[in-house]
Amino acid sequence: MSSSKLKNVTPAQEKYQKLAKKHEIKRPIFKNCICAFLVGGLICLIGQGIQTVFYVYFDFTERTAGNPTVATLIFLAVLLTGFGVYDRFAQFAGAGTAVPVTGFANSIASAAIEHRTEGYVLGVGGNMFKLAGSVIVFGTVAAFIIALIKTAFIQWGGM
């Protein structure tokens, strides 16, 4: 807490805070980090396996196999979210399931499932794109800024 909030704490509140801190469950940070690392790595390994299948068995090149791989990972994440498996898996794995594509697909699908009773347009569509909209805007702005920087370096490098 900030020092200004500590000055206004009553003795009873201070006593309660000490008691609560004494009984607070300690989080196993090291175990959580290892678990997140392993699960995130497993998700990436599965993605690499899917990409390998696309370019070995379906005549994609290594470069063009990326798009169907991402689509497959999104489909699997949404499917597992719909069956409630991804959320239980995420409780165990923690941040490891936040690998960008699968974590984003899970968050969009969860928002859609949670608000389906409000209707398809305002419930599912509206709440799904509340989350997606900010991510898409941030991604677009970041891509624009990176493109400007790249263009500036090409212009200065070409002189």
Domain ranges of the chain: 29-156
> Model's pTM, two decimal places?
0.67
Share of the chain above pLDDT 70, in %: 82
How high is the pLDDT of residue 60? 93
Q: CA angle, corner 8, sides to 7 and 9, nearest 5?
A: 95
User: In this model, does residue 116 exceed pLDDT 70?
Assistant: no
Other beta carbons less than 10 A from residue 43's beta carbon = 22
User: In this model, does residue 49 exceed pLDDT 60?
Assistant: yes
User: In this model, does residue 50 exceed pLDDT 90?
Assistant: yes
102, 39 in Cβ contact below 8 A?
no
Query: Phi, psi at residue 83, to the nearest 5°?
Result: -85, -5
Mean pLDDT of the region 25-35: 89
How high is the pLDDT of residue 5? 54
How high is the pLDDT of residue 156? 77
User: In this model, does residue 123 exceed pLDDT 70?
Assistant: no
42, 57 in Cβ contact below 8 A?
no
Closest CA to 108 of 83, 89, 126: 126
User: In this model, does residue 4 exceed pLDDT 60?
Assistant: no
The model's confidence at residue 24, banded by pLDDT at 50, 70 and 90, is confident
For residues 13 and 103, give the distance between their C-alpha atoms in angstroms, rounded to a whole number.
Answer: 39
Share of the chain above pLDDT 90, in %: 31
How high is the pLDDT of residue 140? 84
